[in-house]
Amino acid sequence: MHGEVLNVDSDLRCKVAKEAATLLYFGAEKEYKQAKLKAAKTLGTHFLPTNFEVAVELDKIAEAHEGPARKERLIQMRQEALKIMKNLKEYSPILIGSVWRGTIRQGSDIDIAVYHDVPDEILNFLKKNGAKISKTEWTTVTKKGKTEESFHIYVETSSKQKAEIVVRSPDEVSRRRKCEVFGDELKGLNIQELERVLKENPAQKFIPA
């Protein structure tokens, strides 16, 4: 009997994960938490899946809807990311986000982190190199009592790809970050690592097993 209850619970969590992933994929919700709550309410249950479970379903939905073109787009976005990172090489850029993970979907952009104490220097450097800047903004996030400020530069590349370059304080270079979706460490790829991936396995995914 206990096993049957566990199976029902597991089945419900799976259904909620799929529903939440659907909401996120089609843009009905933007945040995982809200998507999970809405999905659970729709299905009349209080069982909430983990962000990881929703992310796995989201990846499956993107694969089903976008087909082989998704893989090609991922490779193109990684190649484009490499160009941007080589331009910014003196600022130790790291590819993060869904282009690093290999879990892109429609609307995904290229996310790159750099570490510098004068964000305007990065902005001016990009402008001098002909980057088309669409927007800039400061964001403040408080986690576990610690406040983090970062400067975000939104760029459109020559091939019409959208990229977001996050400028963080150099003090944060060695800081370990935990991924709120997959639960592992946010490592990303540096220039050399990205070059190796593009050479050996250009559509490789970086998600926990």
Q: Is 92 left (phi over 0), alpha (psi -120 to 50) or beta?
A: left
Class of domain 69-200: alpha beta
Predicted pLDDT of residue 104: 96
- DSSP, collapsed to helix, strand or coil, labels residue 113 as strand
Give the percent of the chain with pLDDT over 70. 96
Predicted pLDDT of residue 2: 43
CB 123 within 8 A of CB 133: yes
Query: What is the pTM for the complete model shown?
Result: 0.89
Q: Could you give the CA distance from residue 14 to residue 18 in angstroms, rounded to a whole number?
A: 6
CA separation, residue 18 to residues 43, 49, 63 (Å): 11, 10, 14
Tally of CB atoms within 10 A around 17 = 25
Q: What's the first-to-final CA gap in the chain, in angstroms?
A: 30
DSSP assignment of 4-54: HHHHHHHHHHHHHHHHHHHHHHTTS-SSHHHHHHHHHHHTT------HHHH
Label residue 161 by pLDDT band (50, 70, 90).
confident
Q: What share of the chain is helix, strand, coil (3-state, %, to 5)?
A: 50, 20, 30
Residue with the bigger pLDDT between 7 and 195: it is 195
